Structure 1
Amino acid sequence: MKSLKYCIRFILIVNCLTIFLQGYSQKTFIRAGRVIDPASGAVLLNQVLVVENKKIVDIGANIPIPANGQVIDLGKATLMPGLFDAHTHVCSTVSKFADWLGVDYFDMVLLNPNGYRAIQGAVHAREMLESGFTTIRDAGNSGKYADVDVKRAINEGLVPGPTMIVAGKIIAPFGGQFRTRADQQFLINDEYLFADTRDEIIKGIRENIYYGADVIKIVVDGQRYSYGYEDIKLFVDEAKKAGVKVMAHCQSPKGEYAAAKAGVASIEHGWTIPDSVATIMKEKNIVLVSTDFTEETLKEFGHPEERARSIHGRRVERLKRVYKAGVTIAFGTDIMIDVENKTRGQLAINYIDSFSEAGIPPIDILKALTIHAARLLGMEAQRGKIEKGMFADFIAVAGNPLDDINTLKQVRFVMKEGKVVVNRMPLPADPADKRR
């Protein structure tokens, strides 16, 4: 009798596992009128993509679909890889109309405790995903590793959001990016790791990685003093030992030159990038994450309209020069503000205007938004392309972004790792089609 009970239990367990595994491995068939793969430059018509277990398992024009197959019909829409923002701050919101001579973070640090920063991060991450950003690199300013917490919550399915690469605490010379001259008790904060000696630099890198940072973010020139070549080379070498890259915040020719010579993975902002620095960046395959603020964003930071227009114009001119020099550019925004009636994702995608103004062709804008950023983040074998084995991170737009890049501002469909996040596509012509 006892053996019969065990047999029945065994059969029930096997049946449950079979049902679970069948549901887990169910294939989804996505029909799209046009598929663009920026990595290869291919434009394919009337394709079917097969998604199973979060990944692309097949793609082609003549793939048979079972009568009971789960189908998502995008009609004539254009499907492409999900977008990347390689420099954002989802756990940060600075006050509107901050000192337009330079943002100070004291109010943000003192008024927003870590729990609140994590909630901000979860909301902003969802907004980014809903606008088509399926992967982001959070560049710090996240308090006491709130970015690590948001990443964990997304990975565990507690909240929706993009795949995240996080920087943890920013490492900087004493004072970080604080402009207010405050007592040292206020400078002991969760925003930065101050490192001014060899031992402090090494300790800062190890502490950051220990607490969950995926990339080391350094501020090269946030004060009148800055990190030099030897300092930055130490960052690069020590981080490399742990398999981690260095992203370098640079705003001056001196800082940009030192970072490029030291071989960082990316220069963030790079407001000047002289030709000599561009040459080094191209030779060493250093990526520029250009964060080219729109006039709207600059005005929200508190810059008067005329000054916002002037700053934006200089940024676009620099972007144009760097692109012509052959430097690899990855899309990044550096958004740290909230604008009424606009989500973080909507603000972020508007940065494509700067690329268009710089005369960059749509295909290369798409590369900056996908494969260039994927390579910088070390994800090129998993994301940023449309091919078998890649994660099923997709967006779809009604038009063709190769003809009009602005179609990216109206994303109609978002899928992350095989799960539909947004579907604003029209219904099929035949409502009786149950395979939709």
Structure 2
Amino acid sequence: MNPPFDLVIRSRRAVLPDGERPAAVAVRDGRIAAIDDVDTAPAAAATVDLGDVALLPGLVDTHVHVNEPGRTEWEGFATATRAAAAGGVTTIVDMPLNSVPPTTEPSALAVKREAAAGRCFVDVGFWGGAVPGNVSRLRGLHERGVFGFKCFTSDSGVPEFPPLNEEGLDAAFTEIASFGGLVIVHAEDPGGLSEPLDGGYPAFLASRPASAERAAVEQVVRLAERTGVRAHILHLSAADCLEPLAEARARGLPITAETCPHYLTLSAEDVPGPDDTAFKCCPPIRDAGNREELWRGLTDGVISCVVSDHSPCTPALKRGDFATAWGGISSLQLGLPAVWTAARARGHGLEAVVRWMAEGPAALAGLGSRKGGIAVGNDADLVAFAADDSFTVDPAALRHRHPVTPYAGRALSGVVRTTWLRGEIVGQTPRGGLLHA
């Protein structure tokens, strides 16, 4: 007689929806079929005993720029998803830029799905894009399974994905609200931005002030209240934005926000000099005081997700100075240990990290019934995480295409030992699926 389960994983530190405790997680046909006491684990074809190594749900990263097709020399589905798996991320949602064509119409979504098919080591979903002139195509993208629509209030950095002015935002928000969709916004007011006066980091930081971010967030709040759309603020860097977001939530508006590992773990004071453009991103990494305010916003629930905004490019585009280099940080593989290192230092446990990096993003994308938690019926996306081990970041060990990172040489806590996708160890064969909303 065959055992009732395909796999049982035992851990003294399983992070479950009700907290961290010893448990045995049983898997059948790629899904979590039972959760039992660690000492009375049921029979299975295979059993893994992690001991004191923590068992986490696979992380969900809803902010990843894969860049394929069109700019595959920047990244690609194979390299990005290998990096994701190495970092304990089992689901990503790909941004509609910087690929060419951008995912702004149904035919472009089909091209992107074709590029991804058979190349993904974790599960992949797709955002659509809202740009000038494509309002009539948003519903078609929604019907074909995108998870929502990204737009910019300021220059995106690539010409094929222009920003929306207030009239364009209003039209897109109204249309997306009409079919119950989600809009995700890069919120920086272009009127508050300027060109850096020189190539150093202080001038770059001054060119993208917190006031520009807050003005755009307040604009999104006004438009969301008027149109009724569900809205999400991307990569929040300015703690000044927490006040209008908290007020909007208190009024019952369906507005959420995310931040990123680099805003929670790095600071402007960490940037060594004008050549260290690995630290450049938009909006920028701000000062240490601002960082601590972001942690308070996360703790208070004003910020609900921590996701990577993995935005790589070729090394040549990242060279130069802060006025000219590409603005993007590649941290898909390092987000979990980076956040855990900083979270533990501030008294947070693994259950909080799981809430921010698995449960929250899964809920944002509407995947909470399948992903983001160790619960019966969910996909058996699981991570063995040695939370008490440490390592020094070696760029040569990173799996994304170009090993450029501001974390180079940093000591981080927590090592991903094994990643399972639907009950199977992520290895050399791409088994990731393409998700529909």
Q: Give the shorter-chain TM-score range.
A: 0.5 to 0.7
SS of alignment partner, residue 31 of structure 1? strand
Cα deviation for residue 205 of structure 1 reads 1.8
Whether contact under 8 Å (2:87, 2:334) holds in the other structure is no
Cα deviation for residue 64 of structure 1 reads 5.2
Aligned residues: 343
In structure 2, distance between residues paired with 1:242 and 1:324: 32
In the superposition, the TM-score normalised over structure 1's length comes to: 0.65
In structure 2, distance between residues paired with 1:285 and 1:355: 29
Give 1:276's match in structure 2, choosing from 237, 244, 265: 244
- Counterpart of 2:366? 378
Whether contact under 8 Å (2:260, 2:309) holds in the other structure is yes
Whether contact under 8 Å (1:330, 1:372) holds in the other structure is yes
- Counterpart of 1:329? 304
Instruction: Note if 1:421 corresponds to 2:426.
Output: yes
- Counterpart of 1:161? 121
Q: Amino acid of the residue matched to residue 161 of structure 1?
A: F
Whether contact under 8 Å (1:91, 1:120) holds in the other structure is yes
Deviations 1:277-297 (A, max 9, x none): 332145424221113535499
Cα deviation for residue 245 of structure 1 reads 1.3
In structure 2, distance between residues paired with 1:370 and 1:287: 15
- Change beyond 3 A, Cα 1:394–1:298: farther
Cα deviation for residue 220 of structure 1 reads 2.0
- Change beyond 3 A, Cα 1:358–1:65: closer
Q: Amino acid of the residue matched to residue 245 of structure 2?
A: V
- Change beyond 3 A, Cα 1:270–1:418: same
SS of alignment partner, residue 284 of structure 1? coil
Q: Amino acid of the residue matched to residue 27 of structure 1?
A: D
**C-alpha RMSD of matched pairs (Å):** 4.2
- Change beyond 3 A, Cα 1:373–1:305: closer
In structure 1, distance between residues paired with 2:365 and 2:273: 29
Cα deviation for residue 33 of structure 1 reads 2.4
Deviations 1:64-114 (A, max 9, x none): 544x7322232332101111222121227xxxxxxxxxxxxxxxxxxxx62
SS of alignment partner, residue 298 of structure 2? helix
Cα deviation for residue 227 of structure 1 reads 4.7
Give 1:311's match in structure 2, choosing from 266, 286, 295: 286
For the pair shown, which has the larger CA radius of gyration, 1 or 2? 1
Whether contact under 8 Å (2:246, 2:302) holds in the other structure is yes
SS of alignment partner, residue 30 of structure 1? strand
- Counterpart of 1:286? 255
In structure 2, distance between residues paired with 1:147 and 1:121: 14
More deviation, 379-388/306-315: 306-315
Instruction: Note if 1:258 corresponds to 2:219.
Output: yes
- Counterpart of 2:193? none
- Counterpart of 1:82? 58
- Counterpart of 1:34? 13
Cα deviation for residue 216 of structure 1 reads 0.5
Alignment of 1:35-434 (within 5 A): 35-37=14-16, 39-40=17-18, 42-45=19-22, 47-61=23-37, 63=40, 65-66=42-43, 69-91=45-67, 114=70, 116=72, 120-141=76-97, 142-144=99-101, 145=103, 158-168=118-128, 170-172=129-131, 195=132, 200-206=133-139, 208-209=141-142, 213-222=146-155, 227=164, 231-251=168-188, 252-261=213-222, 262=224, 263-272=229-238, 273=241, 275-281=243-249, 283-293=252-262, 295=266, 311=286, 313=288, 316-323=291-298, 326-337=301-312, 344-349=331-336, 351-352=338-339, 356=343, 359=346, 361-362=348-349, 363-399=351-387, 409-421=414-426
Alignment of 1:6-45 (within 5 A): 27-37=6-16, 39-40=17-18, 42-45=19-22
Q: Which has the higher helix share?
A: 1
In structure 1, distance between residues paired with 2:183 and 2:73: 24
Structure 1, unmatched stretches of 5+, are 1-21, 93-112, 173-194, 424-436
Q: Amino acid of the residue matched to residue 136 of structure 1?
A: I
Structure 2, unmatched stretches of 5+, are 157-161, 189-212, 316-328, 390-410, 429-437
What is the identity percentage for the equivalent residue pairs of Structure 1 and Structure 2?
20
In structure 2, distance between residues paired with 1:316 and 1:382: 32
Cα deviation for residue 63 of structure 1 reads 4.4
